């Protein structure tokens, strides 16, 4: 059925690119995309790895200079510090701009856009937000290194990759968490030293957001108990100078490392399970157990169904996904196959209102535009204007994934204005009447087709197609 | 008399009118012309007329201060926005005068209330039903010609007992407004999108922020207004509404576009009105200014004092910048965030109209700005 093609293109993928055909069987076409997925396309592998970006941060010595600028008594000194800080801001901003361009470029050109959508989904599940200046330059590398290579593995691998990435360790303060009874604390006399102590931030978000889910199978005591075996996990070469010296953790500068000297000793009991003392190995066991926990299965099943199918997804679909996750122990390709094969996923009614990111990407793909013309920051500026800045949801919870989050009057106005701009770029080469049936096969209504056909100019016709109800939803 | 065939008499839906630059005209028995260009949405006075000579300006404005250097340097303190090239020329020819740190008596930050006070010159928003332009009409000699009877809302400044007509031209070179209209039709049957769109257009029309393409219509709008005012029977008073000033996000480009539109509008009026330009006064003003500091989205938020502009072939104080400059250092800001108002909008208008029409300022104040304090 034609409408199945539209569903495969828009609900599962990032939207049609005219001229790129869909295979006869839309389900096979989607599953084939998983085989063809490129974890490191050229645009992304050309960017510097997180290790280099972290080291650049260290060289710029942001933290030290910030402290210095606060302490500076003379204006000249403060001015130098301010200049250095501005230099740092510009350098990380440049990295961010390049990473956003790469993310967008890959999304606009991809012929495996179902897999690309999964990347975006998981990046938002393990969300970072660049409100924190330390990770502005690193946010892209997190998605490219921790998410992309692991979307087709086991959920535990994805969780491990996220947890062990320097950007995550910096964003949720794990890099500063030190066991109060760790060898290091004992050496320096922990109780009196304000630099040494437990930071629960990452432990909490792993339980609440990444695995079990909010208000599920854990308590505050579990959060604190989980934060203890996580101590030791930090970023090489980036800690405070004194601690660096004491633990000699310069071994792998810029990479996630486990430093035994920072680790809180002792046996643990987390969510009802006992763990023997064992440093990094014990932590890995805890992470694996959390990844396979029944609450995690339920949480992931619901989020996936909500993202792809409906804000309030069918209970039967969530149950199928949950059962599959439990059966395979979190094998992600099996989970995606379950989603693609479920009849609930193919109801013609469009229940999802596209997010600004989804709408913008699908609009540009529809017009075969592969880059935003204008200044270097054009892509960054576009998503800021649309109300969904890339990697900046404001909290580790990520962007909301329902119509209530995106279907507002101001957001709709921005889309209409932006559609007008995009239409100008393509009006001389694209006929909106033909494009409509090509990108929304079987789902473009006669009424919308009529409005497009009656537009007073080709440009207006294109803009109307991009803001049509059928194109705003998927 | 204006050629009625050029005007659309009916059939303009409310929504489309809210999105299209609107004009209102009134005829009066004088050969003087007066045009009020209102900037709906709070135009950024510090962007229009940049106080580059103020030592606090560059640091307070950051990136937004950078392009001020490209504008025409008017004196040791101010440069004009780089997009306002024609206005800079008019200033050198003493056909333009600029006022800074100016505001009406309104001290809150609502567009709707601020615009109402700017237009009615009452003591509080919605306190008066008539506008100061209508009261001005009552002061001018009555003409033979009746006001035009056309179909759309009259802006508050022109409302009142003297009969005034307003209309929107059938087709402005403004694709965006046309698109907005079509979108309304496209969503008519959609239960979710139709109310969202109604709300979006109402809100933004109110704030004047809906029409980013308003600037591009400057030449066309200027030609149209001039064609309706140039003739011996033409309108004597007009009001032009412009939008796109509410620059909370990425101000640089948006403000430039909007100012280019005003600059082109004024310059087109000058060329199209021909000899009548010598008898014409153009006032450009906004309801309030914007914050001194740049916000997190490269824009500025609602503030207090702004800049206003006068243009005309026979301007009394042409080639001058009139400002009692309050300064931009933190302690000098109004409520710690805004340019402090040091001049009343009403005073400036009274002086300008008094000079333009040769009417005693006190008489003009009593009739046109009766709620404004006695100047004596």
What mean pLDDT is reported for chain A? 89
Q: Please state, in angstroms and rounded to a whole number, the distance separating the CA atoms of residues B116 and A258.
A: 65
**Helix residue ranges, H only, B213-334:** 218-229, 251-273
What is the tally of structural domains in chain A? Answer: 3
Domain contains A13: no
- How large a percentage of chain A has pLDDT more than 90? 65
User: Mean pLDDT throughout A213-224?
Assistant: 87
Same domain, A71 and A114: yes
A403 touches chain B (CB under 8 A): yes
Domain contains A6: no
**Are A129 and A171 a contacting pair, CB within 8 Å?**
yes
Q: Which of A467, A470, A471, A472 to mutate to test the interface with B (most CBs of B within 10 A)?
A: A467
User: Which residue's structure tokens are 């660096």?
Assistant: A244
Identify the DSSP state of B205: H
pLDDT tens profile A170-185: 999 898 889 999 988 8
What pLDDT is stored for residue A295 in this prediction? 97
Residue B6, pLDDT above cutoff 70:
no
A467 touches chain B (CB under 8 A): yes
**Are B185 and A447 a contacting pair, CB within 8 Å?**
no
Mode of pairing for the β-strands spanning A233-235 and B320-322: unpaired
What pLDDT is stored for residue A241 in this prediction? 54
pLDDT tens profile A342-400: 999 999 999 999 999 999 999 999 999 998 887 879 999 999 888 899 999 988 989 99
What pLDDT is stored for residue B214 in this prediction? 44
Confidence band of A225 (pLDDT split at 50, 70, 90): very high
Same domain, A238 and A274: yes
What pLDDT is stored for residue B122 in this prediction? 92
User: Mean pLDDT throughout B46-58?
Assistant: 96
Range of the domain at B153: 4-368
Q: Please state, in angstroms and rounded to a whole number, the distance separating the CA atoms of residues A127 and A398.
A: 5
> HEC states along chain A?
CHHHHHHHHHHHCCCCCCCCCCCCCHHHHHHHHHHHCCCCCHHHHCCCCHHHHHHHHHHHCHHHHHHHHHHCCCHHHHHHHHHHHHHHHHHHHHHHHHHHHHHHHHHHHCCCHHHHHHHHHHHHHCCCCCCCHHHCCCHHHHHHHHHHHHCCCEHHHHHHHHHCCHHHHHHCCHHHCCCCCCHHHHHHCHHHCCCCCCCCHHHHHHHHHHCCCCCCCCCHHHHHHHHHHHCCEEECCCCCHHHHHHHCCCCCCCCEEECHHHCCCCCEEECCEEECCCHHHHHHHHHHHHHHCHHHHHHHHHHHHHHHCCCCCCHHHHHHHHHHHHHHCCEHHHHHHHHHHCHHHHCCCCCCECCHHHHHHHHHHHCCCCCCCCCCCHHHHHHHHHCCCCCCCCCCCCCCCCHHHHCCHHHHHHHHHHHHHHHHHHCCCCCHHHHHHHHCCCCCCHHHHHHHHCCCCHHHHHHHHHCCHHHHEC
Contacting A residues, span 348-367, partner chain B, CB-CB under 8 Å: 353
Residue A192, pLDDT above cutoff 50:
yes
**Are A203 and A233 a contacting pair, CB within 8 Å?**
no
Chain A hits for B191, Cβ within 8 Å = none
pTM over 0.90: no
CB contact under 8 A, A420 and B176: yes
Same domain, A166 and A139: no
Q: What is the dihedral of CA A102, A103, A106, A111, to 10 degrees?
A: 180
Residue B223, pLDDT above cutoff 90:
no
Confidence band of B149 (pLDDT split at 50, 70, 90): very low
Same domain, A115 and A159: no
- B94 three-class SS: coil
Q: What is the dihedral of CA B77, B115, B150, B282, to 10 degrees?
A: -20
CB contact under 8 A, B250 and A385: yes
Q: Please state, in angstroms and rounded to a whole number, the distance separating the CA atoms of residues A234 and A172.
A: 11
A381 touches chain B (CB under 8 A): yes
Q: Which of A78, A93, A416, A422 to mutate to test the interface with B (most CBs of B within 10 A)?
A: A416
Last residue of a domain, one of A123, A152, A181: A152
What pLDDT is stored for residue B145 in this prediction? 31
User: Mean pLDDT throughout A291-297?
Assistant: 97
What pLDDT is stored for residue A334 in this prediction? 98
CB contact under 8 A, A472 and B179: no
Q: Which of B190, B196, B297 sits opposite A409 (nearest CB)?
A: B196
What mean pLDDT is reported for chain B? 81
What pLDDT is stored for residue A69 in this prediction? 56
Q: Please state, in angstroms and rounded to a whole number, the distance separating the CA atoms of residues B212 and B204.
A: 11
Q: Please state, in angstroms and rounded to a whole number, the distance separating the CA atoms of residues A222 and A157.
A: 22
Structure token digits, residue B170: 């059938």
CA B348 remoteness from chain centre: 14
Confidence band of B212 (pLDDT split at 50, 70, 90): very low
CB contact under 8 A, A464 and B179: yes
What pLDDT is stored for residue A215 in this prediction? 79
**Angle, helix A332-341 to helix A26-36, in steps of 10 degrees:** 160
Domain contains B373: no
Same domain, A224 and A297: yes
What pLDDT is stored for residue B17 in this prediction? 27
Q: Please state, in angstroms and rounded to a whole number, the distance separating the CA atoms of residues A202 and A169.
A: 7
User: Mean pLDDT throughout A45-50?
Assistant: 95
Residue B366, pLDDT above cutoff 80:
yes
Nearest to A389 by CA among B46, B250, B184: B250
User: Mean pLDDT throughout A192-216?
Assistant: 85
Residue A469, pLDDT above cutoff 80:
yes
Nearest to A336 by CA among A40, A77, A169, A117: A117
Same domain, A128 and A163: no
Same domain, A291 and A430: no
What pLDDT is stored for residue A329 in this prediction? 97
B171 touches chain A (CB under 8 A): no
Same domain, A88 and A66: yes
**What is the C-alpha radius of gyration for chain B, rounded to an integer number of angstroms?**
20
Residue B22, pLDDT above cutoff 60:
no
Domain contains A242: yes
User: Mean pLDDT throughout A244-268?
Assistant: 81
% helix, strand, coil for chain B, step of 5: 40, 15, 45
Domain contains B375: no
**Burial class for B243, CB neighbours closer than 10 Å (0-12, 13-18, 19+):** buried
Same domain, A363 and A332: no
Same domain, A89 and A44: yes
Chain A hits for B196, Cβ within 8 Å = 407-409, 412
Q: Which of B185, B192, B250 sits opposite A451 (nearest CB)?
A: B185
Phi, psi of A367 (to 5 degrees): -95, 5
State how far the alpha carbon of B302 is from the alpha carbons of A426, B192, B247, B289, B298, in Å.
Answer: 36, 31, 9, 6, 14
What pLDDT is stored for residue B216 in this prediction? 53
Confidence band of B147 (pLDDT split at 50, 70, 90): very low
What pLDDT is stored for residue B10 in this prediction? 26
In terms of pLDDT, which residue wins out, A411 or B23?
A411
pLDDT tens profile A421-457: 898 888 767 888 889 999 999 899 999 999 898 777 7
Domain contains A34: yes
CB contact under 8 A, A451 and B186: yes
Range of the domain at A369: 356-472
Q: Which of A412, A457, A459 sits opposite B197 (nearest CB)?
A: A412
Domain contains B280: yes
Same domain, A437 and A455: yes
pLDDT tens profile A61-91: 655 555 555 555 566 666 777 777 777 888 8
Phi, psi of B38 (to 5 degrees): -90, 135
pLDDT tens profile B70-113: 999 999 999 999 999 999 999 999 999 999 999 999 998 877 67
Domain contains A427: yes
pLDDT tens profile B290-319: 999 998 878 898 899 999 999 999 998 899
Which range (A28-32, A58-62, A152-156, A234-238) has the least confidence?
Answer: A58-62
Which range (A77-81, A247-251, A458-462, B246-250) has the least confidence?
Answer: A247-251
Q: Which of A409, A444, A452, A473 to mutate to test the interface with B (most CBs of B within 10 A)?
A: A409
Q: Please state, in angstroms and rounded to a whole number, the distance separating the CA atoms of residues A334 and A332.
A: 5
State how far the alpha carbon of B148 is from the alpha carbons of B13, B20, B143, B161, B255, in Å.
Answer: 19, 19, 13, 15, 33
State how far the alpha carbon of B194 is from the alpha carbons of A70, B11, B209, in Å.
Answer: 53, 21, 20
In terms of pLDDT, which residue wins out, B48 or A173?
B48
Confidence band of B367 (pLDDT split at 50, 70, 90): very high
CB contact under 8 A, B250 and A381: yes
Last residue of a domain, one of A130, A152, A174: A152
**Helix residue ranges, H only, chain B:** 14-19, 45-48, 57-61, 63-66, 85-92, 111-120, 132-139, 175-186, 193-207, 218-229, 251-273, 345-357, 361-368
Last residue of a domain, one of A152, A169, A188: A152
Nearest to B278 by CA among B26, B32, B86, B30: B32
What is the tally of structural domains in chain B? Answer: 1
A460 touches chain B (CB under 8 A): yes
What pLDDT is stored for residue B235 in this prediction? 80
Mode of pairing for the β-strands spanning B96-103 and B320-322: parallel
Same domain, A375 and A454: yes
């Amino acid at each position: 059925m034609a409408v199945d093609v539209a569903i495969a293109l828009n609900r599962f993928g990032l939207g049609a690119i005219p001229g790129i055909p869909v295979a006869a069987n839309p389900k096979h076409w989607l599953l084939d995309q998983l085989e063809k997925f490129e974890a490191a396309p050229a645009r992304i592998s050309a960017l510097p790895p997180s290790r280099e970006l972290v080291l650049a941060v260290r060289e710029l010595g942001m933290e030290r200079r910030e402290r210095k600028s606060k302490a500076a008594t003379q204006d000249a000194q403060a001015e130098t510090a301010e200049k250095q800080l501005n230099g740092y801001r510009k350098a990380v901003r440049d990295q961010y701009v390049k990473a956003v361009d790469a993310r967008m470029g890959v999304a606009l050109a991809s012929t495996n856009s179902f897999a690309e959508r999964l990347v975006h989904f998981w990046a938002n599940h393990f969300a970072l937000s660049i409100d924190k200046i330390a990770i502005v330059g690193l946010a892209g590398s997190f998605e490219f290194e921790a998410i992309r290579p692991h979307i087709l593995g086991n959920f535990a691998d994805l969780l491990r990759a996220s947890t062990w990435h320097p950007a995550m360790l910096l964003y949720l303060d794990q890099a500063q968490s030190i066991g109060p009874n760790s060898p290091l604390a004992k050496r320096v006399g922990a109780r009196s030293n304000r630099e040494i102590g437990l930071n629960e931030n990452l432990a909490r978000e792993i339980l609440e957001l990444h695995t079990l889910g909010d208000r599920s199978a854990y308590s505050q005591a579990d959060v604190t108990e989980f934060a203890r075996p996580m101590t030791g996990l930090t970023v090489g070469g980036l800690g405070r100078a004194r601690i660096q010296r004491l633990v000699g953790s310069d071994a792998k500068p810029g990479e996630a490392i486990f430093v035994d000297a920072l680790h809180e000793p002792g046996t643990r009991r987390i969510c009802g399970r006992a763990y023997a003392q064992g440093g990094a190995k014990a932590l890995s066991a805890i992470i694996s157990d959390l990844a396979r926990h029944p609450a995690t299965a339920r949480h992931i099943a619901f989020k996936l169904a909500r993202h792809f199918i409906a804000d309030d997804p069918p209970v039967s679909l969530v149950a199928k996904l949950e059962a599959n996750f439990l059966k395979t122990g979190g094998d992600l390709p099996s989970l995606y196959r379950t989603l693609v094969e479920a009849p609930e996923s193919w109801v013609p009614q469009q229940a999802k209102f596209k997010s600004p990111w989804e709408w913008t990407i699908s609009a540009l793909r529809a017009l075969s535009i592969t880059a935003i013309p204008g200044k270097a920051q054009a892509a960054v500026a576009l998503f800021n204007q649309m109300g969904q800045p890339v990697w900046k949801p404001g909290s580790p919870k990520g962007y909301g994934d329902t119509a209530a989050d995106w279907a507002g009057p101001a957001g709709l106005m921005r889309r209409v204005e932006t559609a007008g701009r995009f239409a100008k770029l393509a009006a001389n080469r694209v006929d909106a009447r033909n494009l409509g049936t090509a990108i929304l096969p079987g789902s473009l209504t006669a009424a919308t087709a009529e409005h497009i056909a009656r537009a007073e100019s080709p440009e207006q016709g294109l803009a109307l197609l991009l803001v049509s109800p059928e194109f705003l939803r998927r | 008399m204006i050629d009625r065939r050029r005007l659309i008499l009916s059939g303009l839906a409310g929504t489309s009118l809210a999105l299209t630059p609107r004009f209102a005209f009134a005829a009066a028995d004088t050969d003087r012309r007066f045009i009020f260009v209102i900037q709906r949405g709070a135009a950024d006075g510090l962007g229009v007329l940049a106080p580059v000579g103020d030592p606090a300006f560059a640091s307070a404005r950051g990136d937004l201060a950078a392009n001020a250097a490209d504008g025409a340097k008017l004196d040791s303190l101010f440069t004009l926005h780089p997009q306002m090239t024609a206005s800079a020329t008019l200033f050198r020819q003493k056909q333009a005068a600029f006022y800074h740190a100016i505001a009406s008596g309104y001290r809150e930050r609502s567009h709707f209330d601020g615009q109402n006070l700017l237009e009615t010159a009452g003591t509080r928003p919605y306190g008066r039903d008539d506008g100061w332009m209508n009261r001005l009409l009552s002061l001018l000699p009555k003409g033979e010609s009746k006001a035009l009877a056309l179909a759309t809302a009259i802006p508050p400044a022109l409302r009142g007992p003297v009969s005034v007509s307003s209309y929107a031209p059938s087709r402005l070179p403004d694709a965006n407004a046309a698109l907005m209209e079509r979108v309304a039709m496209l969503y008519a049957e959609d239960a979710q999108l139709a109310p969202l769109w109604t709300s979006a257009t109402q809100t933004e029309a109110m704030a004047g922020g809906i029409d980013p393409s308003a600037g591009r219509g400057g030449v066309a709008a200027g030609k149209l207004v001039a064609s309706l005012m140039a003739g011996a029977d033409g309108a004597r008073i007009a009001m032009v509404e412009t939008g796109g000033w509410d620059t909370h996000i990425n101000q640089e480009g948006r403000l430039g576009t909007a100012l280019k539109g005003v600059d082109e509008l004024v310059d087109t009026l000058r060329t199209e009105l021909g000899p009548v330009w010598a008898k014409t006064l153009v006032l450009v003003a906004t309801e309030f200014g914007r914050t001194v500091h740049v916000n997190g989205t490269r824009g500025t938020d609602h503030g207090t004092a702004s800049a206003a502009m006068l243009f005309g072939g026979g301007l009394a104080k042409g080639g001058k910048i009139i400002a009692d400059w309050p300064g931009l250092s933190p302690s000098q800001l109004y409520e710690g965030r805004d340019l402090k108002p040091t001049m009343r909008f009403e005073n400036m208008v009274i002086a300008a109209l008094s000079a333009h029409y040769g009417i005693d300022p006190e008489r003009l104040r009593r009739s046109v700005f009766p709620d404004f304090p006695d100047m004596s």
